[in-house]
A and B are shown apart, each in its own frame.
Chain A
Amino acid sequence: MAEQQANNAGAPKGNARVVGWCMAGVVGMFAFGFAMIPLYDVFCEITGINGKTGGRYESTEVAEADVTRTVKVQFLASNGPGMTWKFRPVVRSVDVHPGEQTTVNFYAENPTSEPMVGQAVPSLAPSEGTLYFHKTECFCFNQQPLEAGESTEMPLIFIVDKDLPAHITKLTLSYTLYDQGKQVSATQNSRKETTTNDNG
C-alpha cells in the first residue's frame, strides 16, 4: 500500500490538469467546427471558389470593351424544392465582349392563386470566373413578390471583367428560385435579410 500511494501521490492533481487541458481541447475544437462557417465564407469570397457571385458592382472607371475577345454567357434557371413558379431566362445565352455592359431579362410567373415571394440565388460555373463576373443590377439582390397569376420580366445587368483568364471562353450563370412565403418583409427574419444582401 505504501508504495502504491507513493506511486499515485501526485496523480489526482495530475489527472485534474490533464482533464482540464483535454476539455479545453474539446471545447476549442467544437467551437472550431462552427468557426469553419465564417472562415469558409471569407475564404470563398476572396477566392470565389464556391461559385457565389459578389454583390452590386460599382465601376470606378469607364471601361472600354475589349472587342478582340468574345465570351459566351449562358443562363440557367431552376426552381428550388416546392417552388411552383414558371422561371426561365428570356434568352438562353449571349455573346459579350469583356468590359461591355449587357442587359438580359429573366421571366417569372406565379401560376398559383396566392400571392408569393421568390428569392433567386445565383451560382457561376466555372467557379474560377466568379471573381470576373460583375453585376451592376440584378433581380437576385432583392426578393421578388408576385400576385396570383402575375408575371414579370426581371433584369440583370452585368459586365464580364477584361481580366477574365484567357482560357475561359464560356461562363454559365444559373439561378435557383426559392419560395420565401407570402410577404416580403413582415415574415423576414434577420438572417434572411442578411442573406439577401450577401447573395448579390
Chain B
Amino acid sequence: MAVTGVFMSAVADTHAQDHHHGPAKGISRWLLTTNHKDIGSMYLIFSFTMFLLGGAMAMVIRAELFQPGLQIVQPEFFNQMTTMHGLIMVFGAVMPAFVGLANWMLPLMIGAPDMALPRMNNWSFWLLPCAFLILVSTLFMEGGAPNFGWTFYAPLSTTYGPPSTTFFIFAVHIMGVSSIMGAINVIATILNMRAPGMTLMKMPLFVWTWLITAFLLIAVMPVLAGVVTMMLMDINFGTSFFDASGGGDPVLFQHIFWFFGHPEVYIMILPAFGAVSHIIPAFSRKPLFGYASMVYAVGAIALLSFVVWAHHMFTVGIPIVGQLFFMYATMLIAVPTGVKVFNWVATMFRGSLTFEAPMLFSVAFVILFTIGGFSGLMLAIAPADFQYHDTYFVVAHFHYVLVPGAIFGIFASAYFWLPKWTGHMYDETLAKTHFWLSFVGMNLAFFPMHFLGLAGMPRRIPDYALQFADFNMVSSIGAFMFGATQLLFLLIVVKCVKGGKEAPAKPWDGAEGLEWTVPSPAPYHTFATPPEVK
C-alpha cells in the first residue's frame, strides 16, 4: 500500500513540475530528480560502470585461462569471478541499460512529457546502486563472494554456499523490486501517455518490444524473488524446499529458476530487437519491412519463452515425452525469430545503405545474433545436448546472443541517439574503430569456445587439459582486445558530451519518429503539448 501512496503523490506532482523549466543545481538534481532524461542518463551511466566492473572480472577469468595450470588466481576466487561476472552483466549491465534507454526514449517516441510515475522512477533507479553495493561488498566478506555460478543451483548455493549468500539473496530481492517498478512504469507510460492518434499498431517498435518486455518482467521477476526467498528460508530458517533430507527436491530449484531464467534471456534481447528495428530502416532509407509481423513475432517469442524452460535441464533426467516437448517448443522459437531476421534483411534489400557506427553495430547484430541462434538450436536438440551440456559450447552460445545481441544492440542505440541526448555528433572515425575492434575482439574471444566445448572442455573450471591450450590463448587475446576497446567507447561518449559538431534535430536522414521532431539536445522538458500523430 505504501507503493500506491508514493505513486499517487508522484502523479499529483508532475503538474507542479511544469512550472520550473531547468534542472535543479548540484547533487540534489540527481538524487531527487523525477525527470525521465536525468533518470535515463543515470541508468545508462550506472549500467556502463557495471559493464566495466563485470568486464574486469571477465578479464581475470580470461587471464587465468590464458595458459593451462593455475597461473594467477586460486580456484575459489575464480569461481567467485565467474559468478559475479554473470550476475553483474545480467542484472547490472544489460537490464539497466535497456531501462535507461526506455526512460530516455519512450516518452520521446510516444510524445509524452515524462514517464507516468516519475517518483517511482527515481526510486527504482536508486535501489539499483544499493543492491549492487551489497552484491559487490560480498567480495570482501569472510568466505568470499557467491561462488556457485550465476544460476545459483541448490544445494550448491544453500548447503555449500559461503556465508555471504544471504547478502546475495537480499541484493537479488532489491534488484527485483527495482525491475518490477521499472516495468510497471513502462506499462503505465505506454498505455496511458501516448500522443493522440498513436494507436497501438502505430507505436514505434522499440515501444512495442519494451511493452512486451515489461510484461515478461512482471511475470518472472516475482518468481525469481520467490526462489531466492525459498533459498533464504532453507539456509536460515530450517525449511527443506530444496533439501532431500527434509523431503525437498533440488531439481525443483532448477524448474523454478529456469521458469524465471528463460523469459529473462528474452528480457535481455527484445528491447535490442526493437532498437535495431529503428536503426536498420534509418540507414537503409526504407521503411521497416513487415511492421505487423515484427510485433506478432515479438509477442510469439515472449509467449513461447514460458514453455521452454526445461531445455536448460535435459540432463537432470526428464522423461522422454518431456524432452520431446521441450525440444520442439524450443525449436519453434526459431520461427518468429527467423521472421524478424528475414524482415531486417528484407529492409536492407535494395536500400540506399550507409554504414555509420549505429548501422555497423546493427548489421553485426543481425549476423552474429543469428549465429548464436543457430548454436541455440543445436543445444535444443535433446539427445545432442547431453554432449554440449555445461561445456564451453554453452558459454559460446550465450555470449553470441548476449554480446553481439544485447550489448551491440545497446551500442547501436547509444550511437544512434547520442546526438539527440548531447546535441553533438560523436566522432565517427573513433566510433567505427570501436566497432571494428569490438567485432574482431568479440569473435576472437567467443568463436573458439564453440570448438573447445565440442571437444569437451567444461565451463566454470580454472584449469584445462593441454589440448585446449591454443584455442584458450586465442580466446583470451580476443577478450583482452574486446575489453580494452570498451574504454574507447567511454572516451567517445565523454568527447561527445563535451563537444563536437552541432547535431541537427534529425541527424540521420532516413530516421523516423517523434524523437527527431524535438531539437538536439532534447530540452529538459519535451512534449508539454502533445504532438498530433496521423
- Does A195 reach chain B (CB closer than 8 Å)? yes
CB closest residue in chain B, given A33: B226
CB closest residue in chain A, given B155: A81
In Å, the complex CA distance between A19 and B220 comes to 17
Question: In the complex, which of the residues A5, A23, A49, A81 contacts B319, with contact meaning CB atoms closer than 8 Å?
Answer: A49
CB closest residue in chain A, given B4: A19
Contact: B246 with A195, CB < 8 Å?
yes
If A30-B223, A192-B246 touch, whether A4 touches B259 (CB-CB below 8 Å) is no
Rounded to whole Å, the gap between the CB of A170 and the closest CB of chain B is 16
Interface residues of B in 498-534 (CB under 8 A from A): 528-530
Contact: B223 with A32, CB < 8 Å?
yes
- Does A90 reach chain B (CB closer than 8 Å)? no
- Does B244 reach chain A (CB closer than 8 Å)? yes
In Å, the complex CA distance between A27 and B226 comes to 10
Residues of chain B at interface, number, CB under 8 A: 54
- Does B227 reach chain A (CB closer than 8 Å)? yes
Contact: A121 with B245, CB < 8 Å?
yes
Contact: A4 with B239, CB < 8 Å?
no
In Å, the complex CA distance between A179 and B89 comes to 40
Question: In the complex, which of the residues B15, B225, B259 contacts A30, with contact meaning CB atoms closer than 8 Å?
Answer: B225
If A7-B530, A26-B180, A33-B225 touch, whether A128 touches B319 (CB-CB below 8 Å) is yes
Interface residues of B in 317-354 (CB under 8 A from A): 317-319, 322
Rounded to whole Å, the gap between the CB of B381 and the closest CB of chain A is 21
Contact: A1 with B192, CB < 8 Å?
no
Contact: A27 with B222, CB < 8 Å?
yes
Contact: B117 with A7, CB < 8 Å?
no
If A121-B244, A127-B319 touch, whether A19 touches B222 (CB-CB below 8 Å) is no
- Does B76 reach chain A (CB closer than 8 Å)? no
Rounded to whole Å, the gap between the CB of A50 and the closest CB of chain B is 6
- Does A186 reach chain B (CB closer than 8 Å)? no
Interface residues of A in 35-57 (CB under 8 A from B): 36-37, 40, 44, 47, 49-52
- Does B432 reach chain A (CB closer than 8 Å)? no
Residues of A within 8 A of B195 (CB): 7
Residues of A within 8 A of B191 (CB): 14, 18
Contact: B530 with A3, CB < 8 Å?
yes
- Does B378 reach chain A (CB closer than 8 Å)? no
Rounded to whole Å, the gap between the CB of B12 and the closest CB of chain A is 7
The A-B contact count (CB < 8 A) is 137
- Does B268 reach chain A (CB closer than 8 Å)? no
Contact: B252 with A3, CB < 8 Å?
no
- Does B256 reach chain A (CB closer than 8 Å)? yes
Task: Pick the most buried of B12, B187, B188, B528: most chain A CB atoms within 10 A of its CB.
Answer: B188
Contact: A18 with B188, CB < 8 Å?
yes
Residues of B within 8 A of A51 (CB): 317
Contact: B227 with A33, CB < 8 Å?
yes
Interface residues of A in 65-118 (CB under 8 A from B): 80-81
Mark B168-194 against chain A: 1 for CB-CB distance below 8 A, else 0. 000000000000100110011001110
- Does A64 reach chain B (CB closer than 8 Å)? no
In Å, the complex CA distance between A8 and B180 comes to 24
Contact: B239 with A191, CB < 8 Å?
yes
In Å, the complex CA distance between A73 and B225 comes to 42
Question: In the complex, which of the residues B18, B187, B245 contacts A4, with contact meaning CB atoms closer than 8 Å?
Answer: B18
Contact: A11 with B11, CB < 8 Å?
yes
In Å, the complex CA distance between A185 and B318 comes to 36
- Does A199 reach chain B (CB closer than 8 Å)? yes
Contact: B251 with A19, CB < 8 Å?
no
Question: In the complex, which of the residues B238, B247, B252, B529 contacts A194, with contact meaning CB atoms closer than 8 Å?
Answer: B247
Contact: A33 with B187, CB < 8 Å?
no
Residues of A within 8 A of B218 (CB): 22, 25-26, 29
Interface residues of B in 231-247 (CB under 8 A from A): 238-241, 244-247
Contact: A15 with B188, CB < 8 Å?
yes
In Å, the complex CA distance between A80 and B160 comes to 13
In Å, the complex CA distance between A22 and B7 comes to 13
Residues of A within 8 A of B230 (CB): 33-34
Question: In the complex, which of the residues A18, A29, A36, A126 contacts B192, with contact meaning CB atoms closer than 8 Å?
Answer: A18
Question: In the complex, which of the residues A4, A15, A36, A176 contacts B529, with contact meaning CB atoms closer than 8 Å?
Answer: A4
Contact: A12 with B8, CB < 8 Å?
yes
Interface residues of B in 355-412 (CB under 8 A from A): none
Mark B148-175 against chain A: 1 for CB-CB distance below 8 A, else 0. 0000000000010000000000000000
- Does A141 reach chain B (CB closer than 8 Å)? no
Rounded to whole Å, the gap between the CB of B386 and the closest CB of chain A is 15
Residues of A within 8 A of B196 (CB): 7
In Å, the complex CA distance between A125 and B317 comes to 10
If A29-B222, A36-B256 touch, whether A19 touches B244 (CB-CB below 8 Å) is no
In Å, the complex CA distance between A128 and B528 comes to 65
- Does A178 reach chain B (CB closer than 8 Å)? yes
Contact: A25 with B192, CB < 8 Å?
no
In Å, the complex CA distance between A4 and B18 comes to 10
Contact: B226 with A30, CB < 8 Å?
yes
- Does A144 reach chain B (CB closer than 8 Å)? no
Interface residues of B in 468-486 (CB under 8 A from A): none
Residues of B within 8 A of A14 (CB): 188, 191-192
Contact: A19 with B184, CB < 8 Å?
yes
Question: In the complex, which of the residues B7, B18, B247, B318 contacts A19, with contact meaning CB atoms closer than 8 Å?
Answer: B7
Interface residues of B in 81-107 (CB under 8 A from A): none
Contact: A22 with B184, CB < 8 Å?
yes
Interface residues of B in 1-21 (CB under 8 A from A): 3-4, 7-8, 11-12, 14-15, 18
CB closest residue in chain A, given B116: A15
Rounded to whole Å, the gap between the CB of A65 and the closest CB of chain B is 28
Mark A116-135 against chain B: 1 for CB-CB distance below 8 A, else 0. 00010100011110000000
If A29-B222, A176-B244 touch, whether A19 touches B529 (CB-CB below 8 Å) is no
Question: In the complex, which of the residues B12, B184, B220, B322 contacts A12, with contact meaning CB atoms closer than 8 Å?
Answer: B12
Residues of A within 8 A of B193 (CB): 8, 11
A sample of 23 cross-chain residue pairs with beta-carbon separation below 8 angstroms, ordered by A number, consists of A5-B15, A7-B195, A12-B12, A14-B192, A15-B7, A15-B117, A16-B7, A19-B7, A22-B180, A22-B188, A25-B219, A26-B180, A30-B223, A30-B226, A32-B226, A36-B252, A37-B252, A80-B245, A126-B317, A191-B239, A191-B240, A195-B240, A195-B246
What are the 7 tightest A-B residue pairs by CB atom distance, in nearest-first order? A33-B226, A195-B247, A178-B245, A30-B222, A29-B222, A33-B223, A14-B192
If A22-B188, A29-B218, A178-B244 are given as contacts, then 4 extra A-B residue pairs at C-beta distance below 8 Å, sorted by A number, are A10-B192, A15-B192, A22-B218, A125-B317
Binding site for A on B (CB under 8 A): 3-4, 7-8, 11-12, 14-15, 18, 113, 116-117, 159, 180, 183-184, 187-188, 191-193, 195-196, 218-223, 225-227, 230, 238-241, 244-247, 249, 251-252, 255-256, 259, 317-319, 322, 528-530
